[in-house]
Amino acid sequence: MLITMIFVQAAGFLLLALSQKYHYRNLMHRAPQSSGQTAFRFAGFAALAVSVGTGLQAEGMQFGPIWWLASANVVALLVLVLSAWRAEGEPNGR
Amino acid sequence: MSAGVRQKNAWLHGWAGLLLGWLMFAIFVTGTIAFFRQEVTYWMQPELHDSDPGEPLEMARMAIDRLEHIAPDAREWQIELPSEREPQLSVSWEADGAEADSASSAFAADRARAEEAAAQANARGGRPRDPGVAVDPATGAIIHPRETAGGDFLYHFHYQLHFMSRGSGMLLVGLVTLAMFIAILSGIVTHKKIFKDFFTFRRRKGQRSWLDAHNAAAVFALPFHLMITFSGLLLIGGTLLPFSGQERNRERQGEMEQQAPTDLAAGSSLPLSKILHTAQREWSVPVGRLSFDRRANTVELSSQRNDSLFLRPGGGPGRNLTFDGTDGTLLEREDNLASDGIDRTNRAIRALHLGRFADWQLRWLYFVAGIGGTVMVATGLVLWSVKRAAKRRDALIPIGQRLAEILNIGAVAGLNLAIATYFWANRLVPAGTPNRAELEIRLFFIAWTVTYLHAAARKPQVAWVEQLMVGGGLFALLPILSFATGSLWLPSAVASGNWIVAGFDAVCLLTATVMFCAARFITRGSERDNVAQDFPIVDRSLVPAE
């Protein structure tokens, strides 16, 4: 259950990163389509909401939120590292 | 938000952060390690590493057997079962009522030794501890681990410092915590693009990169940073008040003294497995301690950790079960749950800070969040220097900036080196040395002082690199030193499932890697700096005039 929460959370953060032009370019190495941004953002927040639910179900009302926030720290960091890492291959990262 | 408000907040953020930032970093580092303080203490007593803990039932049986032999006349016995965090069995007993020439006196030396060690530990601060005696789970022999302050020293340092009274230490830490809280709040206001730059880290952009790292470390773990500083303030305020728990114990002792002495119950008649099964059924957490009242013939079981945020967070476990010593019936269930909303809030905030409810997985996540805090403070400190250095490239270095640079080096790189020294001292100072716990602490502070002197004597960049390399080297060699001086070798620790020793060694290697990378990063930065001046970690104008 906790593993599910972490994966869904990772998907959520990754989608949120993709909803930003800068990170889309870093991660996908191509220009984003203008219509995709809102969809990515919506899907990202939806995934995060689902992961909150999964966390609460797995660890309860007291420890669920602690788990969610504690793992969010690591998962968001991984997305940041991924984006910064992938940006290097691109001559004009910005 | 108007630019003026943001600017004022930036000013507040910079100064609140800098002035107490050096101490803040030390508090964050030692506090983060304190999430593993029992594990660190265990690592620092390699005499315990050889014994594998067994099943709780088997361990409790052996401990009772030992106590029957060691302290047949004691009024009270206590057994601390091995746990995930402290995998050793220990026993203690209250021998006040025993006859002087009884069998207990044969072990009086062991008891006296344990009591002396505890008295020294208690003098260093913190809650009074019960002096226990470690028992080898395999043979039942009494083990004498080396005397060390272990992780407790780092834990105590993070809220009451050292070389000063407990009260003034806590006052100072309280002030730092308050400054931290202000720095965090004003930092949120100052951060212009908290959502837009959420995942952004721009490499090799000098000041920009430092700011990105600072922001990421601050924002990702922001709930943790807010929680840990706010609850820290609350805990410091609370600990200055007298403990209610201690008073309760004193009352209980008074009651016992009034009781007429009766026959002491034999431990062997206790239906142990029934009792442990009942406890397992009642609680979702393992049993931590068994306390025998041998005159009333009862045994009290305490939980190993809390399974609710509303239980008493510190100073003893939140759940207790009292059993009859003869037939094992459950006499009383005591749950120290908060009574009202205010108490619940108060306890939950404290419990979140202490994190004693956390299992090992969550404990590691707490540790990572703590590291995030140390990175946030360290990058903030460096930024302060980098920013000001960037503004003046030519003229004389103001004495204030030079001083800030020295303090940065000693506080950040120097502290890591000093902690490595503390662990080295633990393995190198012979086990039987009198007062060796204090000696380890002294060596820690001597190493730390030397790093400040070194930073004052050398050019900033050179000082950074040298201290990071030496500190990294000490951490990298620590697992080898540990093995050479009688503890487990990392692969064999993994093979035998001793995750505390394996985890400690792995973190040492990781710390070493990070410190080497930082050193290389600074060296590369300064090389590039010679060509294009695009990335100064420290501006070259800060170098003392030659």
Contacts of A2 in chain B (CB under 8 A): 361
| Unique residue bearing structure tokens 């950790």 | B305
Distance CA B148, CA B117 (A): 9
The domain segmentation of chain B, as residue ranges, is: 1-44+148-245+359-391, 52-117+130-140+246-335, 394-546
Q: Enumerate the residues of chain A whose CB falls inside 8 A of the CB of residue B226.
A: none
Residues of A with CB under 8 A from a CB of B: 2, 13, 16-17, 20, 22-23, 62-63, 66-67, 69-74, 76-77, 79-81, 83-84, 87-88, 93
pLDDT, residue B316, reads 64
Rounded to 5°, angle at Cα B311 from B81 and B75: 45
Which residues share a beta bridge with B76?
Answer: B94, B293
Residues in chain A: 94
List the single residue in B198, B201, B220 with the smallest CB-CB distance to A73. B220
Q: At B376, phi and psi to the nearest 5? A: -60, -50
Does the structure's ipTM exceed the value 0.95?
no
Please tell me the predicted confidence (pLDDT) of residue B126: 54
Distance from CA of B118 to the nearest CA of A (A): 34
Residue A13 has what pLDDT? Answer: 97
The per-residue pLDDT for range B350-405, each reduced to its tens digit, is 999 999 899 999 999 999 999 999 999 999 998 887 777 767 655 567 788 888 88
Compute CA distances B251 → B241, B254, B257, whole Å. 18, 5, 10
Q: How far is Cα B12 from Cα B293, in angstroms, rounded to an integer?
A: 57
**Number of Cβ pairs closer than 8 Å across A and B?**
60
Q: What is the pLDDT along chain A (94 residues), one digit of tens a residue?
A: 899 999 999 999 999 999 999 999 999 988 888 778 899 999 999 999 999 999 999 999 999 999 999 999 999 999 999 999 988 654 444 4
Q: Which of A66, A74, A83 sits opposite B368 (nearest CB)?
A: A74
| Nearest-by-Cβ selection for B365 from A20, A74, A81 | A74
- Give me the residues of chain B with pLDDT under 50, please: 97-104, 242-261, 531-546
pLDDT, tens only, A56-83: 999 999 999 999 999 999 999 999 999 9
Q: Between β-strands B287-293 and B142-143, what pairing exists: parallel, antiparallel or unpaired?
A: unpaired
Contact (CB, 8 A) for B69 and B521: no
Task: Write out chain A residues lying below 8 Å of B352, CB-based.
Answer: 66
Q: Which tokens sit at B63?
A: 């401990």
